Each structure stands twice: as C-alpha cells, then as structure tokens.
Amino acid sequence: MILYVVRHGETQFNVEKRYAGSTDVPLNERGIEQAKELAEKLAKESFDVIVTSPLQRARATAEQICVYHKDVPLMVMEEFREVCVGVYEGLTGAEAQEKYPELWARKCTRQLDDAPTGGETTRQVDSRVAKGLAILKDKYPEKRVLLVCHGFVSRVINRQLRGLSFEEMHEFSLGNCEVVEYEM
C-alpha cells in the first residue's frame, strides 16, 4: 500500500498556537485556501480511497481534495482523530503553564504514559493509530490511500512507519496541508 499522509489546513488555533487536540475547530480562511491549493496539486494523482479523521478541520480538507476525485470513496475513521489533550484543550502553552504549573512541569505531553488531566497518553494514541493503519493495510493492500489527519497523529504514523523511537517521533513535524508518502 502507498499511503499519503496529509495534515489538515490551518485553523485559528494553529495561528494562536493553541492546543486544539480533540476540540472540533474549523479551518480558517487561510486553511480553506491551503486545502483548495493542495486539492489542485493532487488533482492528477490517483487514489483508491481517501480517509479522514472525523474532526471538521480534517474532513473539510479531505472534502476539498474530493472535488477533484469525485469517484474516490471518502471514509471517516475515528482511529485518526487528533490526540485529546484534556485540560490543555484551547489553551496556549503559556496559558497551560500558568493554569496548571505542576502538570506543565511534568512535560506530560512528551511522556509515553502521562497526559494532561482528561487527555490521552502517547501510548494510547499510538495504539489507536496502529489499529487504524492495520485496518487500512488489510483493506487496501496494493492500493493508493490518502489520509487526512493531524499534527500529532502524523508524528505517530511517521514513528511507526519509519521505525523511530517515541523520543525521536517529536523531531518530525508536518505543516498544514503538507503531504508525506510512505510505502507499507
């Protein structure tokens, strides 16, 4: 399977450097334009299925791509939704540090088995994403799959498919509407 991983277009939370996590924020105007530009760029590519996270920022990006791929099925998969960052959702790093100093000091978003209160651990997200990738590989062997997801999820995918450690995974960053290709 050839897997193309796309991060959704820009949101206002991205601009303000806020933790979006599982908060269902929409694309901003720039994000919509980025999605349209990406869709045009991918117009001549061939895909067997387009997969998206259920969050609207990813779905809206995928829907723009589907404008040029009307006959390609669009599948929403919960496994690829963004990490839930619990009490950090909607906050900037500075706000999270001020509001939750002890939690912030633990660097819990960078730990394998720790998370902000009410959030998911990296291990939980890793397991969820691995399940999603296994479903895709089983259902679409020898196919070309485009997946629209999120920043943290794209790091997890990159870690799994490149055989990186959990520490190394944070060195990878996919920008809004950037694409990376993997062969599985």
CATH classification of the domain holding 168: 3.40.50.1240
Catalytic residue among 8, 10, 79, 120: 8
Residue 149 lies in a domain: yes
Does residue 71 contact residue 169 with C-beta atoms inside 8 Å? no
Q: State which amino acid sits at residue 141.
A: P
Catalytic residue among 10, 69, 79, 82: 82
How many separate domains does the chain show? 1
**Residue 65 confidence (pLDDT):** 98
CA angle 89, 60, 158 (to 5 degrees): 65
CA-CA distances (angstroms) from residue 174 to 26, 140, 153, 154, 178? Answer: 18, 24, 10, 7, 6
Residue in 48, 57, 51, 2 with CA at minimum distance from that of residue 25: 57
- Tell me whether residue 16 is in a domain: yes
> Does residue 95 form part of some domain?
no
Q: Is 8 tagged catalytic?
A: yes
* pLDDT score of 81: 98
Asked if residue 10 is part of any domain, the answer here is: yes
Give a yes or no: residue 27 inside a domain: yes
- 82 flagged as catalytic: yes
Residues of the chain where predicted confidence (pLDDT) is lower than 70 = none
